[in-house]
Each structure stands twice: as C-alpha cells, then as structure tokens.
Amino acid sequence: MSLPDIVSREQWLAAREELLVKEKVVTRARDALNAERRRLPMVEIAEEYVFDGGDGKATLLDLFEGRVQLVVYHFMFAPEWEAGCRSCSAFLDQIGHLAHLKARGTSFAVVSRAPFPRILPFKARMGWTLPWYSSYDNGFNRDFEVTLEQSGQLVDRPGLSCFLRDGDRVFHTYSTYERGLDGLGSTTTLLDLTALGRQEEWEEPKGRASSLGAPAGSERVRYHDEYEF
C-alpha cells in the first residue's frame, strides 16, 4: 500500500495551507456554477403522470406534498428485478433526515419502473421510510431520460430531477445522471441543484432567499424534531 509521506507538524501545516488556497478556488467555482444552474430556464410539465405509492395513486403534483419544490431520485429497479440496484441503494443510504429539506419547502421522493408491490418488500428490507413511487404505468422514466432503449432493450440509469411548483403548475428545472450524482446526498448538495438553492442571502441570483416567507437559509435550521410542518 502506498501511504502519504511522513513529515513534521510544521511541514504538514505548510502543505495544508497551500492546498487550502486551491480548495477555496474550487469552492468559489462551485458557488458560481450553482448560481448558473439556478439561472437555467424551466419547462412546464404538461403530462399528467400517475404513480403508485403507499397511499395509492398519486400525480407528480401530489409528490410535492404541498411544498414548492420536489427532488426526485430515479432509482434503478426494473420491473422484472427482485431487488433494487446496489449502487442506487448505497445512494439512498446516505440521504439525511428529510426534515431539513422540508424546512426549505422541498420534498424528496424516489421513483422506479418496478411495480409498487415489488418495491414494497425491498423498501422494508432496507429499512427506508423515504417516499417511493412506481412509474410502471407511465412514461416518466423515458421522458426524463433515465430509461433508454439500447439494441432493442430498455436500460435504466441512475439520475436525479428537480421540479418547481407554482400553484398547480409544475415545472422541470434540472436533471443530472450517473457521475453527476457523485458527492450528492446531504441537504445542501441536494438544495444546490434546485431553482431556489439553499435560500441564503449571499446566493445569486438575488430574490430567492425569502421566497418561502421564512428566515433565510441557516437561520431556519433546527434540530430535526423541532420543525413545525
């Protein structure tokens, strides 16, 4: 095994300070990229998708649970599979408590092609309580390019899509796939993909931090059992 060099504390601090300069460059570049993502235009969803879930049938609007934003994780689970994708399962394992997303007006849901009766036992086996829906009877996966046709066969890939609601109108704001999921999972990384972002005053473009009529960003962070929904 190749291990790092052994140096003195002073040498380590010097090397760490040198690296910190580069890390700050990456942080500023990431902030600029997130701002550019928030400036993307959006497209209205005209299709009336109907999913199967724990409470029966649900539309895409229902998945918002009354909130203004929705993040959907496209979980690879083909209709003929007995269990979901291992990599997708590892991704869901790292999703934190949803209360912190909900406090920023953002819901999170999982969608797969497998019929809901096949999803349910696997979800129970994994011990997940995340909202999970089946798109077995609609074209949601194809329309959002997570189910592709290759050599005459349907092939799934992992992805994540973000939606914004204005009354009963639903808009698609962003999607990413495969390697674009690297590093995601925390509340802030998921919010960074949305049109409203973290809703911090320092974020660009201006005017979205107070869009939910609540204190901006970190000022509304609570212990997850202290939020009032």
pLDDT per position as a tens digit, 155-173: 999 999 999 999 999 999 9
Q: How many CA atoms lie less than 13 Å away from 73 in the CB half-sphere?
A: 24
Residue 214 has pLDDT above 80, yes or no: no
**Cβ-Cβ contacts under 8 Å for 87 (sequence gap 6 or more):** 76, 158
Task: Kindly give the residue spans of alpha helices, DSSP state H, lying in the chain.
Answer: 9-38, 60-63, 86-93, 99-102, 116-126, 140-143, 187-191
pTM score: 0.92
Over the stretch 100-149, which tens digit does the pLDDT of each residue have?
A: 999 999 999 999 999 999 999 999 999 999 999 999 999 999 999 999 99
Does residue 157 sit in helix, strand or coil?
coil
Per-residue pLDDT band for 96 (boundaries 50, 70, 90) equals confident
Q: What is the spatial distance between Cα 134 and Cα 126, in angstroms, rounded to a whole number?
A: 17
Q: At what angle do helices 116-126 and 86-93 cross, to 10 degrees?
A: 50
Beta strands in the chain (DSSP E): 43-44, 50-53, 56-59, 69-74, 106-112, 132-134, 147-150, 153-156, 159-166, 169-177
Looking up tokens 């290759």 gives: 150
